[in-house]
Structure formats: structure tokens, C-alpha cells
Amino acid sequence: MSSNQMKLERVELLRLEMPLVSPFRTSFGVQTARDVLLVVAHTTDGAVGYGECVALAEPVYSEEYVDGAAHVLEHYLVPAVLACEDLTAARVAELTEGFVGHRMAKAALELAVLDAELRQAGMSLAAYLGGTRERVPVGVSVGITDTIGQLVETVQRYREQGYGRIKLKIEPGFDLEPVRAVREAVGPDVPLQVDGNTAYRAADLAHVAKLDDLGLLLIEQPFEHDAIALHAELARRCRTPICLDESITSAAATARAILAGACSIVNLKAARMGGYLEARRAHDVAQALDTPVWCGGMLETGLGRAANLALAALPGFALPGDISASARYYAEDLTEPFIMVDGQIEVPRGPGLGLTVREDVLGSVLTERREIRA
């Protein structure tokens, strides 16, 4: 067995209930807490690696949901990886490719193996992926509010905290007027973008195109994940760049969307693509096609946030990501908190994810622990 190959002794699946500091509302629902699934990989040599599954409690953002991810990990994905005698993170996708879909579950398992592998090797995730930045610019994602006044007030509070780029969640009935009010409140120079999370349909095309008059940095994923032609038509009608999120499920999907004219900016979420190694490949594809990318977020704890920061350190990440400081979402994070300074957050430099899990916090939010052995 070469130095970078491992054998897993066991894998733990931990379920956590992480309360959010404030409710987060999008077009597909309201979250007041995150039902977190952690994958913890233990090697025979004593290394431990963590991966965070970002699937929501219900299948509303994608077809995946936490109970389903836990089931497929326990019964299919983890056993396939436990059986491997010469395991590396790069082999996880190959070992699990016989099971269709479940990209968020696969991403969590791959990240746990990768974290363990890199901790053994003494290499940071950012260095492994090819990251070139020590700090990355970050933005904040602002959920849908009950009133336009509340939205403007919330945005102004985040501006006071130092967030330079603002993203507004929108949905039919809460789009043009709220966005216009925020634009007037923050002025013409603040980078402002919107995210429809697939809430619009073909009949809304002309309405969505009216967002073009509001001086936006980009319009993100207004239509369904498979509506590539519809996004391409919107792109033809707008000066504002169109960005895709839910449509981007692989490096190949990235290439297809860009070449179809459906987007000129890409939101890369590693979990949606099956892992950080595939996200790196998608980054490379976008770079080859002269398309800027940025890193999306899924309300991750410090573990997932650390991985996103490592990814966002790659050179093609030209726009601030939805990474944000820990305090944006959690009063107590699972790791030492990430703090924003001058609109940027430092990329962890320690081995693997570069962080230590706070066992006291973990114990206080743990709701279930399952162990799977070789």
C-alpha cells in the first residue's frame, strides 16, 4: 500500500440539529435549523476525516434529502468504500459509480476520505485542489422577508457588518419591487444579484427579463434545472449575465450549459456535483471556456465552510461566494468560527480541512450516531 493509500476501519454517520440564528426563507421553504448529516471516516492507521452532507430535510432543493442520504450511505456507498484495500479519495467516485445519483451523499463520503487522506499527508485541502489565495472575498445571501421594509433593513444590517456583495432570494410575487427598493437603498455601485432557485416558469420569461433594468451583477437560476434552452433565451434578452446553479451537476453539465449560451457565469456547489474533485474539474472546464465561477453555499457548518473556502481559493473563482462568516448562520459553530475581515475570510491552511471539531458543541447538537464497520 503506497503512502497515500488507506484502508477504512469504520465510518460513523452523525445526525445533528443545528439551530440557525434567524429563519432563512427561499422560494422552496423556510429553515429555522439545519438537520446536519456528518460522515466521519476512521482509517486503520488512526486518521479521522469529516465530510458534511448538505442535503435538506425534505427533497425541495433537489431530489436528495437527509434521511435518504443517510440510508444510501449506510447501505450502499459506505460498504462499497469500506471494502477497498487501497483507498484514496480519487477512487471514491469510481467505487460508488454503480449507484445512480445521490451526489450530495457521495460528496460527503468523498470529503471525509479526502480529509483523512490529507491529514495523514500533512497537506491542506486548498493546496491539494490547487488553491492560490490565502483569503477569499465573500458575500451574503439574504432570504425572502415578509415585507420590503424588512428586506431593506436586513440588507443594510449586512452592509454595516462589511458584506460588499449582496444576493437576494426572489420568487414570483417578491421580485421586481423588493429588488428595486434594495437597489435604491444601497445605491448603484454595490454588487447586487438575485437568485430564483428554479421558482419561475416559461410563462414568466418576459417578467424575469424586467430584472435587467435594475443594475444587477447576475440573475441566478430563475427556471427549472433542465430548462437550458429557456435560460439561453433569457440570456439573449438581457444584458445582465445569467448564472446557473441547480443545472450544474457535473463538469460535463458545466460545458453543455456554457456552450448552449444558457449562462455566462457559473455557481459551483461541490455537493451538488458529487464532490470537490468533480467541482475542481468543472472549474477547469469553465476556465477553459473563459467563464467566471463562484462558490455557492448551503448553510454549511464550519466543516463544509472550510471545504468551500478551499475550493474558492482556486484562480477561476472571480466573484465573491455565498460562504459568509459563521455568525451569519450559527451562534455556536462545530469548529472555531470563521470571521470576515474587510469582506474576506481566511482559507484554512492546516492539514485536510484544517480545523478541529469542537466536541462540546458536537455533543450538544448530536441527535443520532450510527457506526458502519468493514
- How far is C-alpha 322 from the chain's CA centre? 8
Q: In terms of C-beta density within 10 A (0-12 exposed, 13-18 middle, 19 or more buried), how is residue 258 classed? A: buried
Rounded CA gap, 200 and 88, in Å?
41
Cell of 53: 452532507
Rounded CA gap, 286 and 245, in Å?
13
Annotated catalytic residue: which of 7, 106, 169, 210?
169
Could you give the strand order of the β-sheet that contains 8-26, starting from the edge strand earlier in sequence?
A: 48-53, 29-43, 8-26, 366-373
Rounded CA gap, 104 and 102, in Å?
6
For 183, other C-beta atoms within 10 Å of its C-beta total 18
Rounded CA gap, 248 and 226, in Å?
10
> Dihedral sign, CA of 360, 362, 368, 371?
negative
Residue 29 parent element (H or E): strand 29-43
Rounded CA gap, 333 and 357, in Å?
9
Length of the chain: 374
Cell of 153: 433593513
Residue type for position 192: L
Contact status, residue 337 vs residue 325, Cβ threshold 8 Å? yes
User: Which stretches within 14-147 are classed as H helix?
Assistant: 66-72, 78-82, 89-96, 103-121, 125-129
Phi/psi of residue 10, each to 5°? -160, 165
Active site residue 169: yes
Annotated catalytic residue: which of 7, 106, 167, 269?
269
Active site (catalytic) residues: 169, 269
